[in-house]
Chains A and B, each alone.
Chain A
Amino acid sequence: MKAAVQKKKDNRTTKELKKPELLLPAGNLEKLKIAVHYGADAVYIGGQEYGLRSNAANFSIEQMKEGVTFAQKYSAKVYVTTNIFAHNENMDGLAEYLESIEAAGVAGIIAADPLIIETAKKAAPSLEIHLSTQQSLTNWLAVKFWKEQGLERVVLAREVSLEEMLEIKKHVDIEIETFIHGAMCISYSGRCVLSNHMTARDSNRGGCCQSCRWNYDLLESDGKEVKPLHSINDEPFTMSPKDLNLIQSIPKLMDAGIDSLKVEGRMKSIHYVATVASVYRKVIDEYYTNPEHFQIKREWLEELGKCANRDTAPAFFENVPTYKEQLWGESKKNAPYEFAGMVLYYDKKTKMVTLQQRNYFKPGDEVEFFGPNSNSFKQTVPILFDDKGNKMDAARHPLQVVCFQLDQPVKPWDMMRKNKE
């Protein structure tokens, strides 16, 4: 009896909390491994074709297989983005490509174009099909349409608020994936062809040149006279959104039963992938384990800040964003920390760490170590050795193997970062 009253008081305990999938981007095989190792439940990758990041390294079918095998050890899934809006010329080879993705053990594709969706249903029927945000899904009826088309999951438009997500969930029983972190379009996705018109690069086939983030002058013209709507001291007009960051809202998203929480950034570094994956992993796990006493820790926010290269905001989560959720003038910044080395080995007896160099560092630099499950700690780099035991004045060469004495133990794949400021 007492327990029942208790339950009524606190809404959260009456509802079964479900652990959402934490979905990370992986621009190449190394990033895939890091994302999974640092806590992602699933990763999405691009193949050589049909994805929207034509500048990313992307995966061959062989690399996909290796990625899937690796991910399976962690029970993690691999999805492949095939989210272009295809042109006639892209049709040839599509079915074979989807078949080879399926054969590689990939769990599903993220697609926007019905051509790709329909081809996948026929050619690779075991692949799950998730509707890409490129379709700019903003209402539950449209979601219902895609469910009736046989899709397992939809990624909502970035313009959908929490309240709207809840209503969509109420009306349609389908998996919902939503973005929680990273850069995003300022337009409705799929409805911007600025790149096509300005640079003849097709934004909906991966050629986006991000011209929304360029500077423009806002003018008023009555056909005769052209008047600028800014003075010399004003920053120019631009349309650069702050990056999305919903760390504070993870509990609300979990309460809402959102199935997959997605991080943007197939072009981002492994340092970014590792940091973001490990922080959100901790947030999700901690809220899941102890929802009543959950609080966002300051150290999580600080961690995220170490790899942030833009200011962040919650975008459309609560309201339509204002000028405060955009970047103006020189407010663009670079991540304060850089990835300096990857741990290969730690000898507990000698307390020597063996690292692979990823960026310049030297004795006397303050560095910070972090791993998937541990809290980060700082130390000054002492005497530095190469792999043959020769003293070095600095670690200058990428991928060079170096050693130094480290007081606290670390594990292979832990990372060392350095404050750039």
Chain B
Amino acid sequence: MTDKPELLVTPHQANDIPDLISAGADAFLVGEEAFGLRLAGNFDREEMEKAVELAHKTGANVYAAVNAIFHNNQLKNLKEYIRFLNRIGVDAIVYGDPAVLLIAKETAPSIPLHWNTETTATNWQTVNYWGKQGAERAVLARELNMDAITEIKENATVDIEIQVHGMACMFQSKRKLVGNYMEYQGRNLQIERRDKERSLHLYDSERDVKYPVFEDRNGTHIMSPRDMCIIDELDELLDVGVDAFKIEGILKDKAYLTEVTALYKQAIDLYYQDQSLYNNKREIMLDKAKSLQPRTRDIDTGFFFKETVY
């Protein structure tokens, strides 16, 4: 049997880390909005240092999200930021833009790299290509099903991470699309907030679902209408040895994130103890996961059992 997968969560602040470790988290993905995309919380440099300190106390890992799409004028700060990450000893840099890869190889050659563009890691040869460029891990697109994930894992030369729980990003634009609409309506943008705390949604009447939408310095982001949850369908992924399971904490509170983390920890432990124990508790764990959901957000199984056409 393979090693247990790493349970990776995205906390809102450094102080949440000890409780999340107690709940079963092995690693944390954190970052600063200027460099990372769609973070559960914005970690300034002090907060980053604190996160590393708190996590390392118990042997947990901290990965820095440096996965923004960078324009020329951000490259100078990017280099300086990677130096900072090197100094504070983060355990990996998560990137999508090859600019980060080049800077990291030069400035911080000993920090492991995780490749994550969110949407484009869709086949094992491409995953291995980024491995050859220096990535130790690839984060797969969320729009893949169980068979595709399994095939990638079986052929990958790098570690494979997938998201198992929470919201998914469906769209990023550099344009300020919510602000543009408000301005078009004649609203005063000085007083209209469009950040993720305002809880804005796009309502799709044909599907009768609401997509969370928000703006930040990286542009406009639109999120999935339901949270994926596969607490009761982990066996194939555990069997094939997927290396890391991510639980996404964006737009959720700490209590939710802690409970969900504990639930997945329980599921993984049960499976490794005895698969029949996991089998017996699947339904109970799924019910528990459902009970944790905010009233207005359902769960689904994402793309794990879906076929897409084109």
Contacts and interface: CB of A to CB of B under 8 A. Distances in A.
B72 interface: yes
A29 B52 CA distance: 59
A186 B177 contact: yes
B102 interface: yes
A141 interface: yes
B173 interface: yes
A144 B102 contact: yes
B201 interface: yes
Contacts of B143: 193, 196-197, 202
A58 to B, nearest CB: 13
B309 A201 contact: yes
Given A88-B124, A192-B171, A328 B148 contact: no
B205 A217 contact: yes
Contacts of A188: 69, 172-174, 219
Given A186-B173, A207-B309, A223-B296, A198 B72 contact: no
Contact of A221 (B118, B142, B201, B309): B201
B310 A220 contact: no
Interface in A138-168: 138-142, 144-146, 157, 159-160, 164, 167-168
A287 interface: no
A280 B144 CA distance: 42
A399 interface: no
Interface in B266-310: 294-296, 303, 306-310
Interface in A188-224: 188, 190-194, 196-198, 200-202, 204-207, 212, 214, 216-223
Interface stretch (A112-120, A343-351, A361-369): A112-120
B137 to A, nearest CB: 16
A207 B171 contact: no
Given A191-B117, A207-B309, A212 B171 contact: yes
A301 interface: no
Interface stretch (B5-13, B41-49, B181-189, B231-239): B181-189
B210 A191 contact: no
B102 A141 contact: yes
Given A216-B202, A230-B185, A139 B178 contact: no
B148 A87 contact: yes
Interface stretch (A12-20, A319-327, A374-382): A319-327
The main secondary structure of chain B at its interface with chain A is mixed
A187 B173 contact: yes
A196 B303 contact: yes
Interface residues of A, number: 72
B28 interface: no
A118 B203 CA distance: 42
Contacts of A114: 125-126, 129-130
Centre residue among B130, B177, B182 by max chain A CB count within 10 A:
B177
A229 interface: yes
B250 interface: no
Contacts of B207: 198
B195 interface: no
Interface of B: 69-72, 74-75, 97-99, 101-103, 117-120, 122-126, 129-130, 141-144, 148, 151-152, 168, 170-178, 180-185, 198-205, 207, 210-211, 213, 219, 222, 224-225, 294-296, 303, 306-310
Interface of A: 54, 85-91, 112-115, 118-119, 136, 138-142, 144-146, 157, 159-160, 164, 167-168, 186-188, 190-194, 196-198, 200-202, 204-207, 212, 214, 216-223, 226, 229-230, 234-235, 237, 239, 241, 316, 320-323, 326, 328
> What are the 5 closest A-B residue pairs judged by CB atoms, nearest first?
A207-B310, A141-B99, A145-B98, A323-B180, A205-B310
21 contacts: A86-B122, A88-B124, A118-B129, A136-B69, A138-B69, A142-B70, A145-B101, A160-B71, A186-B175, A187-B172, A188-B219, A191-B171, A200-B308, A207-B308, A216-B204, A218-B178, A219-B202, A220-B199, A222-B199, A226-B201, A323-B181
